Structure 1
Amino acid sequence: MAKPMPVIKEWQVDRLKGRDFIDFADYSPAELDYLISLAERIKHKQKMGEPYQPLLGKTLGMFFTKASTRTRVSFEVGMYQLGGHAIFLAGNDTQLGRGEPISDTAKVMSRYVDAIMIRTFAHEDVVELAEHASVPVINALTDLHHPCQVLADVLTLKEYKGTLKGLTVAYVGDGNNMANSWIQAAPKFGLNMRVATPEGYECDPAVVEQAKAFAEESGTELVFTKDPVEAVKDADLVYTDVWASMGQEAEQAERVEKFAVYQVNEALCRHAKPDYLFMHCLPAHRGEEVTSEIIDGPHSVVFDEAENRLHVQKAILVATIG
């Protein structure tokens, strides 16, 4: 029997129209649940071959100063499937690369497109862009946050486990943008969260304080440790990311040395629940942050997770453009 689709409550319809999607701090648990439910419905329609084009005639402007595979393809394909159009703008293709103020670019682009997606380095640039744009701004990645990826991760976790409340997520590795977005989102979805990072590579302090407040409000567990075993013990999901993100290539050798005991391998994962899932936002460096036995093994759902970027981003586009 086909799985019933979640009911979208009337109060939720158009509630997010015109909203930015920059990080999870600005979204309530009910609003995030709505985005997951909407993504489930949109994914179901695609799998059933049911046309769904609520964004017919709409245009998404896409700014990239960081290279991408999954982000560009999933947003372009998503807009096409929703009936709209996406315009790709690399850093050197715009006047931003020649010093035009972000505020001017935001005001001009708002006259042309129905939403702006940006993948860049400085989170402050996205905040400034959203401040001056009159159309929704979607954060497709900054050095501080990666909310679209975490929303896809949560959808994948729900698909496999059936529920989210009370599950435990273990993040092992660098306290980077992925870890920052995870600690923001987990309490809002009713998830317990444990993060293991080496000394000096912790999550952003301001985001940690936000996350602690969210966890206290939701009554969920939020643990920060230096011990990867403590983080992974009885976890439902084991998560990691590359040790040196884009722009940190010069630190690669130093990071490999400091992160060696944080590798996600069979020995570490024996401490997780027997039916644990493994996720990685990709691209992965097999033999560094994760072994091939884990990422290519039976617990890994990395390609389902990657596919779900398409579905959650379509949900964000539908909800914010309206």
Structure 2
Amino acid sequence: MEKDAVKKYLELLNPFLLPTYISQLKDLKLNRMYGNDFFLTWEKTKDELDAVWIVAEALRHMRENNISTKVFDSGLGVEIFRDYSPRTRFSFASACNLLGLSATNLAEEKSRLASGNIARETANMVSFMADVIGVRDSKYIGKGNTYMHDIADAVTRGYDEGILEQRPTLINLQCDVDHPTQTMSDMLHLINVYGGIENLRGKKIAISWSYSPTAGTPLSVPQGIVGLMTRFGMNVVLAHPEGYNIMPEVEVIAAKNAKISHGSYTLTHNIEEAFKDADIVYPKNWAPFAMMEQNSKLYEQNNYNKMNILENELKAENAFYKNWTCTSDLMKTTNNALYMHCLPVDITNVSCEHGEVDAAVFDKHRKQLYKQASHKPYVIAAMIILAKFQDVPGLLEKLANSNIPRKM
């Protein structure tokens, strides 16, 4: 990376240069973010994505320097987690707390939602004092993103009809299509590591399937990576065994993005080819798109017996690809690559007999993995602020000038 670019970026990280962040925001077109939701990264403009990263950095450095970032005096952040995820749940709760909101969890399994209450009633009943709703629903193809839009449409109608005093913003905390809070955090990590987003142009990133003894996780992380990072001139390589495809429509988006950004998007069924000379590697497990589609159909039919059979079949198929794992020898073929993962990760001879990564690789990159994860609360908080406040530069300026300490 260029020394001047790194120096310039490090200067921007100075917490006493908050006016720089504010000035950067003033140059961006952000009108569409106010009063809107965050579903998929490729629905946002580059200005809107840049704004999330700038606000996230500003919030981090205000907190690190004991400046209060509470922009709400009261209000709720409602989390609806239809999938289990302590990391994203904690990040959402942290983001709400950072801004002055109280996070509250709607446990579907302990409510009448488990008996079939629909999104319209769910949305309005939890939104009387809510400013944001975070939804995670990623297990079934065609379900998660649709459910989120149903929630968003319902609160819009509730607000328009005067039932709700404010329209809560919806944040996608992972759906069947994308995981925007994760991939936006991943990109912010890369921006920090390489000293600016301009230095990512031309970098090779390999997002690769890797073996896990589990049946497979959702497709939204690899889809989110190829959907976002192709927009910034990176050379994105997707690697997986034959049959472990992601959604074809997301691949179309990735190819289009790469053409516009003068980067590249390629597919390989060879993990060694993907890792060779890579600057960044992101090996993780996922379930094949065809299996996810089949599983969703069985779910609609309440055919849990066949779902279990399908899961066992996939585990057996996965076992043919135990060599698809991130080893120290494989890492030696890279360009001293940065190892990334959304966590948790299956570590060979630690959490399982054969996993996604060798213990030596994980231990070498542990510090950077934790830093990667640390961006998510700030990214979520930035998404909330940009949706709830019309003049975000003015808001940050007010926070900076007030200099109210976070702790007395």
Instruction: Give the TM-score taking structure 2 as reference length.
Output: 0.73
SS for the counterpart of 1:8 is helix
Larger deviation: 89-98 or 248-257?
A: 248-257
Q: Is the 8 A contact 1:168 1:236 kept in 2?
A: yes
Match of 1:218 in 2: 261
Instruction: Give a deviation string over 1:194-223, Cα, whole Å, max 9, x none.
Output: 110111111111111122222222222111
Instruction: Give a deviation string over 1:159-197, Cα, whole Å, max 9, x none.
Output: 111133312211110682110011110122332211101
CA RMSD of aligned residues (A): 2.4
Q: Does 1:278 align with 2:300?
A: no
What is the deviation of 1:27? 0.5
Taking the TM superposition and a 5 Å limit, the aligned residue runs for 1:251-262 are 253-262=315-324
What is the deviation of 1:251? 5.2
Q: Counterparts of 2:371 and 2:317 in 1: how far apart (Å)? A: 29
Structure 1 letter corresponding to 2:268: T
Q: Is the 8 A contact 2:30 2:48 kept in 1?
A: no
Instruction: Give a deviation string over 1:244-271, Cα, whole Å, max 9, x none.
Output: 6999864563254133232111122122
Structure 1 letter corresponding to 2:377: L
Q: Does 1:30 align with 2:47?
A: yes
Match of 1:81 in 2: 98
SS for the counterpart of 1:301 is helix
Which of 139, 144, 169 is residue 205 of structure 2 equivalent to?
169
Which of 149, 156, 176 is residue 127 of structure 1 equivalent to?
149
Which of 66, 71, 81 is residue 64 of structure 1 equivalent to?
81
Unaligned runs of 5+ in 2: 1-6, 14-20, 157-167, 211-217, 296-309, 349-354, 390-408
Q: Is the 8 A contact 1:243 1:289 kept in 2?
A: no
Instruction: Give a deviation string over 1:118-158, Cα, whole Å, max 9, x none.
Output: 11233222232223332321111123321111111111111
Instruction: Give the TM-score taking structure 1 as reference length.
Output: 0.91
Q: Is the 8 A contact 1:243 1:256 kept in 2?
A: no
Structure 1 146/78 Cα, relative in aligned 2: closer, same or farther at 3 Å?
A: same
Structure 1 letter corresponding to 2:70: Q
Match of 1:195 in 2: 238
Q: Is the 8 A contact 2:204 2:236 kept in 1?
A: yes
SS for the counterpart of 2:233 is coil
**How many residue pairs are counted as aligned between the two chains?**
321
Unaligned runs of 5+ in 1: none
Q: Counterparts of 1:152 and 1:82 in 2: how far apart (Å)? A: 18
SS for the counterpart of 1:296 is helix
Q: Counterparts of 1:321 and 1:14 in 2: how far apart (Å)? A: 11
SS for the counterpart of 1:66 is coil
Match of 1:296 in 2: 363
Structure 2 letter corresponding to 1:4: L
**Structure showing greater Rg:** 2
Which of 233, 237, 248 is residue 280 of structure 2 equivalent to?
237
SS for the counterpart of 2:12 is coil
Structure 1 204/13 Cα, relative in aligned 2: closer, same or farther at 3 Å?
A: closer
